[in-house]
Structure formats: C-alpha cells, structure tokens
Amino acid sequence: MLPGPAGAVTEAVRGLPQAPPARPTGRRAHARGRAPRSKGDRTQGRGFLAKAAAVTAALTALGALLGLVRDQILAGYFGAGAETDAFLVAWTVPEFASTLLIEDAMALILVPAFSRALARRSGSLSGDPVRALVRGTLPRLTLTVGGAAALLVAAAPLLVSALAPGLPDPGLAVDCTRLTGTCVLSFALVGYCSAALRAHGCFVPPATIYVAYNIGIIGTILLLRQPWGVRSAAAGVAVGGVLMVLVQAPSLLRELRTRPVPTREPRTLAPGDAGEGRIVLLGLIAPVVAFSLCRQSQTLIERFLASPLPAGAISHLNYAQKVAQMPMILSLMLCTVSFPVVARALAAGDAEAARRRVERDLLLAAVVVLVGASTVIATAPRIVELLFERGEFSAADTTATAAVMRVYALGLLGQTMVGALVRCYFSAARPLWYPAAAMAAGLATTAAAGVPGAHYWGAVGIAAANALGITVSAVLLLRGAHRQAVPVQVDRLGGGLLRLAAAGAWATGAGWLCQLAIGPAALAVAVACLAVCGVFLLFIACAVKAPEIPPLPRSARRTPHARRHRAAPSAAEAAPVGETAPVGGDVPLDHGRR
C-alpha cells in the first residue's frame, strides 16, 4: 500500500472508458447491449443482489455465532480477570488489522480500482487491466506488510506499554502480542482477495472468512489450552488468519483465469509517468488509511483508559462490545454486497442509480440495527447471563458487562451510518479527506469525554464516550454526503432516520416490559425480541410520513429499465457489458465461470 504499485493502480484509476458512441434506443438497444458477451463476462440473473445478500447474511450469521462460541470459551476458561485483560490487549492487533486491512481501507481502495479495471477489460488491446493491477500491487503489498508484521513482533514490549501502561501482567500481554502480530500479513492478503472477489461479483468466499477465522481460534484453544493457557487464544489468531487466506485464494485464481493470457504486456510507464503515478496513488490511499486509522483508534482509546481501572474492566468492555455490535455487523452486510454496484455505477457515469442504491441501503441497514439495538438495551442482563455466565464468569461480571452493553448499543446507529455513508465518499476515483476529518472529530470527542467518564463511571463512562464520538462522526458524514460523488438527499434521509429512531425507542420499552416477568433467560430474550419487532413494525406502519423502505427482493428484481421503457438508455445501459455493466437493482457483474 506504499508507492511501489503506482503504475498498475494509476492505469486503473486514470484509464476510465470514454463515452460510448451513439446507439439505437429502446428495448432493442437494451437487448443488443447485453447479447454479445464473453465467457469471462457472464452477467447475473434477476435477483442477484437479493441472493448475494441472503448468502452473505447466512455465512455472516454463522461466523458471528462461532464468534460468540469463541467468546464463551474464553469467558468459561479464563473468566474476566488479569489474564484475559492481557490477552485482550494483544487482541487489539487483530481488531485493528481487520478494520484497516479487511473491512475498511483495503476494500475502500481496491473495490473501486478492480471495478474500473473490469470496466476496461473488453476495450483493452495491450493486455488484461485486472491482471496488470494484480501484478503491480500484490507482490509489493506482501513485502511491505510482511516487513511491518516482523517489526510489530519485534516491538511487542513497546507496543504493550503504550497501549496499556497500567496492565498487571505485561509479560503475558507481550507473548500474546507476538503471536497475534503475525495476522498483519495474513489479514492483508485476506483483504486483498476479498476486495478483488467482491468486485468480480463473487461474494461467497469473502463471506466465509470469519467462519474459518473463528474455527481456527476455537480449535487452537481446545488443543493448546492446557500447556499454553490464554496464549492458545493468541496462537489461534495466527492459525485463523492463515485459514482465511486459504478459503479465498482458489476462487481468486479461478477469477483471474477467466480471461485468456494477453499476448502482449501492458504499456510500461515512462519515468515521468511513474512519478506522477506515485503521487496519484498516495492521494488515493492516504485519505482512506487516515479514515480507517481514526475509526479503529476508538478501541485504542478504550483500552488505554480502561487499563488503570480494576482488573476485568477491559474484559467487560470487550464482551459487551462483541455482543452489542452484532446488529451492526448484520446491518452492514447489504452495504458490503452493493458497494461494488455503487462503484460500477459511478464508473459508468450513472450517479442517480448510485444515489438510489445508497439511500435504499441506508434505510434498510438502519431498520436492522435499530431492531437489534432495541433488543440489546431491553434484555442486556439476560443476554449476558445466557451467553457467558458459567465457569469463571461470575454474576458480578454479568452485571458489569450488561451495563456497558446497554450504553454501547446507543451508538450502534452511528456505527452503521459511518460504515454505510463512507462508501458515498470512497466509491469515486478520488476519495476525499472529509471522512477522515469527520472520524478525527469523533475520536477527539471520545477522548475528551472518556477521561472524565472513566474517572467517574469506569467502563460505563468509556462506553458512553465511544457512543458519543461515533454519533458525532455519523452526523458529520451525513451532513456532507450531498456534496459528494453520490448526491444523497440528506434532509429526506435524516428525517427517515429520526422516525426510525423514534420507533426504536418505543420498541425498546415494549421489549423491556415483556421480559420482566419471565424467568428463563432464553425465553425472556426470545419474547422481548418478538415484542421489539412487532412494536417497531407497527410504529413504522402507523407513523405519519413513514420512510419508504423497499424490501431487498423487490428492489433487486424491479430495476429502473424494467419499470419503464426509456427513449434513450442511461450511460450504464448504453455501454457494452464488457465495458461497464448496467447498474441499479438488478446488477450484472463480471463474475466469470464457477
């Protein structure tokens, strides 16, 4: 991700296809535009987004379930004390690396780059732009990140002292950090493969990565717990990172082979062009990396502020965050699936299709996360009791974790909006610095509120500062979205989100009342969840000016060109499939053979 791969990425960024020549209009033109296609440019049938989102949802839910099993094993074997705190300081490395290298920076940089390379594929006479992008970026990325991983392993004592200066057992944290530091290289390869596969319209292998990751951690803990103690969990992170690469590499190789090997190598850049390419590349990477660093630094501030607190505070924050963020993870699945769609729409010059897709995704994601947040707030003690209260995890730990979880849940809507809105800024060819500035403002808010919060209210105060900071960032991103490449209608969208938040407040109260008189924790959570869903939907149905939230299957089946026959096709429809795929609800992507 340094200036090394400038040539390939610059060509992918600058070489957008020119406007296509005039074509016949109407239904015949649309059919003619889709007819000629190569085997490597096979388009998807109707309902592709719905199917992709459903498969991604199922695999993500399975990965989240295995993550809960992993946390249950950690809580049962090691409790919420000094030993677990030491491991969780080392756990900061994979948390930070996954956000930077898998979820945010790598995806936000490479998905648009691969999308533009795919759009240029059929018009390229000198070679395959996709393979040129891979040849120019992957080897140098591997060397650079591999060196960073080695440096991190060597500097583990300094890192632990900086992250948690008040930790009771820093030696154990250093050992765990050296084991988890190896994931920096594996996570970089995972993020690269995921971005490339999603740009090709292949979503199943990227959705399985956390299933493989958690299987690796759970298996290693079960095998090595007796001789290694909590170090076995850190070793599991290293094993899980390797498994994540292995579940994606075969699919990526198959996608790259769908186009014949070019007979001539791509044009090499002149010395002056190479220097310009490095400048362009740094301009592309720097805003995205800065945004991701600021976003993940929320966790660094939490661990730093919690380290002087009594033993177990970091553990309570970790368990509460893992459970509370599950609704956010599920809500962002749709945005993950549709991000390549937005990038391809902008590459085709169809900003209106990108806007419709983004607004639809934001409202659907808000519904999912608010229903989940309402359930968490209403039943937090019962959820913690059901999931963790066994073995070394005591009733006092349940009470402390539930209090933190309820406060964390207040910031879930902000977390989701940040994850979804940032795609409006980073889908275009030149990402801007505004998202990084918005995240920096939220980070400063978290730090300023966290110091007195930790002093007076402990872990609960730290969680409140986190919720406040991420909400500030979300508001700033929403207010600036209408000026970006995807011109979101801010006032309309903001009004819809406020009405959904009001529905969530009513649903939270209903869920809390329903679970009060029920004894078994599992039954109480189930009844409260049903009550939350029912009240939420009832409020939305009866509210004045309720926001329009089309279901995904209908939005995926009914595309703009299916609803009406235009006199002239859009830019996306006028281009042949090999250059730019039509974008909208039913989105054909360059998917290749399976």
DSSP string covering 95-147, please? Answer: HHHHIIIIISHHHHHHHHHHHHHHHTTTT-SSS-HHHHHHHHHHHHHHHHHHH
Query: Is a pLDDT exceeding 80 seen at residue 147?
Result: yes
Q: How many Å apart are CA 542 and CA 503, to the nearest integer?
A: 10
Decide if 66 contacts 211 (C-beta within 8 A).
yes
pLDDT at 221: 94
Residue 480 has, within 13 A of its CA and on its CB side, a CA count of 20
Closest CA to 343 of 427, 218, 236, 254: 427
Share of the chain above pLDDT 70, in %: 73
What band does 562 get if pLDDT is binned at 50, 70 and 90? very low
Buried b (16+ CB within 10 A) or exposed e, 277-296: bbebbeebbebbbbbbbbbb
Q: How many Å apart are CA 47 and CA 586, to the nearest integer?
A: 6
pLDDT at 131: 85
Query: Is a pLDDT exceeding 70 seen at residue 576?
Result: no
Mean pLDDT is lowest, of 62-71, 291-300, 558-567, for 558-567
Mean pLDDT is lowest, of 19-28, 89-98, 169-178, for 19-28
Q: Any idea how long the chain is?
A: 594
Is the pTM here over 0.75, yes or no? Answer: no
pLDDT at 430: 58
Query: Is a pLDDT exceeding 90 seen at residue 448?
Result: yes
**Identity at 239, one-letter amino acid code:** V
Decide if 198 contacts 103 (C-beta within 8 A).
no
Residue 255 has, within 13 A of its CA and on its CB side, a CA count of 25
Alpha carbon distances (Å) from 235 to 132, 170, 247: 36, 17, 19
Phi, psi of 22, deg, nearest 5: -65, 140
Average pLDDT, the chain: 76
pLDDT at 3: 37
Q: How many Å apart are CA 127 and CA 123, to the nearest integer?
A: 10
Query: Is a pLDDT exceeding 80 seen at residue 283?
Result: no
What band does 122 get if pLDDT is binned at 50, 70 and 90? low
Cβ burial, residue 538 (10 Å; 0-12/13-18/19+):
middle
| Cα 443 → chain centroid | 19
What band does 23 get if pLDDT is binned at 50, 70 and 90? very low
Q: How many Å apart are CA 34 and CA 578, to the nearest integer?
A: 9
pLDDT at 327: 85
Alpha carbon distances (Å) from 571 to 364, 508, 509, 593: 27, 45, 49, 26
Mean pLDDT is lowest, of 72-81, 328-337, 365-374, 550-559, for 550-559
Which own/partner pairs from 452-457 qualify as long-range (CB within 8 Å, at least 24 positions apart)?
A: 454/305, 454/306, 454/309
**Identity at 131, one-letter amino acid code:** R
Mean pLDDT is lowest, of 207-221, 234-248, 344-358, for 344-358
Q: How many Å apart are CA 30 and CA 560, to the nearest integer?
A: 12
Q: How many Å apart are CA 44 and CA 55, to the nearest integer?
A: 15
Interval 197-203 mean pLDDT: 83
pLDDT at 273: 35
pLDDT in tens, 354-405: 788 888 888 888 999 999 999 999 999 999 998 888 888 888 999 999 999 9
Residue 30 has, within 13 A of its CA and on its CB side, a CA count of 17
Report the 10 Å Cβ neighbour count for 592. Answer: 20
Closest CA to 186 of 150, 142, 220: 142
| 199-203, 269-273, 577-581, range with greatest mean pLDDT | 199-203
Residues 6+ apart with CB under 8 A from 297: 443
Report the 10 Å Cβ neighbour count for 219. Answer: 15
Residues 6+ apart with CB under 8 A from 258: 39, 40, 592, 593
